[in-house]
Structure 1
Amino acid sequence: MVPLPIGGLSYIQGYVKNHLISKTVGQCLEATAQRVPEQEALVVLHENVRLTFAQLKEEVDKAASGLLSIGLCKGDRLGMWGPNSYAWVLMQLATAHAGIIMVSVNPAYQAMELEYVLKKVGCKALVFPKQFKTQQYYNILKQICPEVENAQPGALKSQRLPDLTVAISVDAPLPGTLLLDEVVAAGSTQQHLDQLQYTQQFLSCHDPINIQFTSGTTGSPKGATLSHYNIVNNSSFIGERLKLHEKVR
């Protein structure tokens, strides 16, 4: 017999084999790093990057506290503009760790598309490499934000992108930008790591941490917002479907 909803609520959950996980991305990474610290977590062949879970957790902590140290706060939007890379993974985990919402910016976007997306969600920061294939990212950004060339790093003021105050270069020192390595290094101080720990007390698995845009084939791209809850459980079910728990390590 199916039980009735309790307390007048209209929602009831029946029997399920696997319960949904009510954890943040950061809590999942921390639990895995404690359980299998020496197991390989991330391999990026074209960048010669190999990190264990313990090493990845350490870098994510520093990157997350580094983002807080340059003025980003819980709920702020950070655009990650570029191809698959170590920096992309680091930014997704670090922003989630700090309660910042990462906006996945299509690496093929030109100036007008970039401007639309950054303004649509009010990005406060933008992270990008100098170049990918024929895409000269810094030159494209200058088309819509010429102020970056003469800006003080971390204190950008743009007429067309009023929310954008921080430009972060992944791999090359560029005028008006902070280097990603500098941001991570700034986050390694105990003061900023303590700030991160304090911020994490106020995070919920239902907080938004990612905005993904459609291709926009029927009009302008539309942003879909995902929470820790969405991403963690989607990952869990994909892992189960692929039988990753049965794989020989």
Structure 2
Amino acid sequence: MTTTASPAINVKGVEKSYKDLHVLRGVDFEVQKGSIFALLGSNGAGKTTMVRILSTLLKSDAGTATVQGIDVAADPLGVRERISLTGQFAAVDEILTGRENLVLVAKLRHLADPGRIADDLLATFRLTDAGGRRAGTYSGGMRRRLDIAMSLVGHPEVIYLDEPTTGLDPEARIEVWDVVRGLADTGTTVLLTTQYLDEAEQLADRIAILHEGRIIANGTLAELKRLLPAAKVEYVEKQPTLEEIFLTLIGPTSGANTGKENAA
């Protein structure tokens, strides 16, 4: 008899409200170990709120969520020991050099030989030559790569990337995409939130569309494409794009929750 491995992340019936504003309305999804899972949605859909709950930074009103089998509400410390979070904006100290940023994080985690850890991560993220420069002199793509490298100090089992390419130019976005693919290749579980449809299409093993606090679709790209019939133009079958699937599923944009989600 075969057994199915337990998921790295398991979310069931999670709800969250701010007074009378319902941000999450019974969210369910699973993320398999070593995979890239994209939580796709417009501004205000509830993506950041979901990540904050999974990071133990925010408590849900109802439902359960586990990370590596550990309940985020019952044992937040146990969850924090296994995760890392990279927010929407790079959290690097621009006064310190790239290497000093990494050494600082390694020391805060009480790891042995922080200098070696820093040098290894600089090499992995192609930042060795820039390691002695102040992070404030880095380009947007370099700063984001350093930010993700800092998140990997201590080898977290699960990493959350909350809109990691927001504000980056196309070249820098591709650099970050390469980093994300590399994380999954080494067995790290990645939960990626994004509002960029091409980003989810390029990176994710599975994609969940979060709209107005609910998961309205969840599957591989191929499975989501089957939700819409292929268009035929002059006898040539045209498969629907992820953008067409997304816009069809969410319907007209209501703009609801946008301000609150950004604030949350």
Judge same fold: TM > 0.5, yes or no. no
Higher RCO, Cα 8 Å, sep 6+: 2
Identify the structure with the greater helix proportion: 1
Identify the structure with the greater strand proportion: 2
Normalising TM by the smaller chain, what interval? Answer: 0.3 to 0.5
TM-score by length of 2: 0.32
TM-score by length of 1: 0.33
